[in-house]
Amino acid sequence: MSCMEKTTSRKLARTRLLERQRAEAAAREARERANLTDLTEFMVQTAHLEQVDERIAERIEKVKAEGEQRRHRYRVAAGKALHAMRMRGESVAAIARQTGLSQGQVREFVRIGAEADAAAVDGSPGNSRPSPVPSDGGAGLGEQPSTGDVGDAQ
């Protein structure tokens, strides 16, 4: 009988091992399914994140462009005002004293205003934009640095 018990215990041992292996395989498979689900979610969410970043960058560029257009309008309006003063006979030095700008800055504003007025007379308001706007937003107009950017006043 001892031989029979050996066989039975071997079968029992093998059955237990197979059950344990099946349980481990099922747990591994469940983990892999969960990992696949989480990785899919990760990929989808990072794609959304990139889209948000792209939209933010586009909006920033749009706001910058709108701001530059607004600053240009203010710069032209300021230039027209100083150009009108100059046309009434005020000297550049007198305008500089009254505005607190350097004479170079006054000349630059007068030039911008004169170009805008000339373009308006020519009947081409689309050409009223003077030379390209400096990258510093006009703060460098003239010879002396300004303490504030004239184009940003609203």
Domain ranges of the chain: 2-131
The phi, psi pair for 129, rounded to 5°, reads -75, 120
Mean of pLDDT values over 1-19 = 77
Mean of pLDDT values over 127-137 = 44
pLDDT score for 148: 42
Kindly report the pTM of this predicted structure: 0.54
Residue 2 pLDDT greater than 80, yes or no:
no
The per-residue pLDDT for range 25-66, each reduced to its tens digit, is 999 999 999 999 999 999 999 999 999 999 999 999 999 999
CA distance 72 to 133: 8
pLDDT score for 56: 98
Q: What one-character-per-residue DSSP string does 77-92 give? A: HHHHHHHHHHHTT--H
The per-residue pLDDT for range 85-129, each reduced to its tens digit, is 999 999 999 999 999 999 999 999 999 999 998 988 876 554 444
pLDDT score for 120: 85
pLDDT score for 8: 73
136 and 104 Cβ atoms separated by less than 8 Å: no
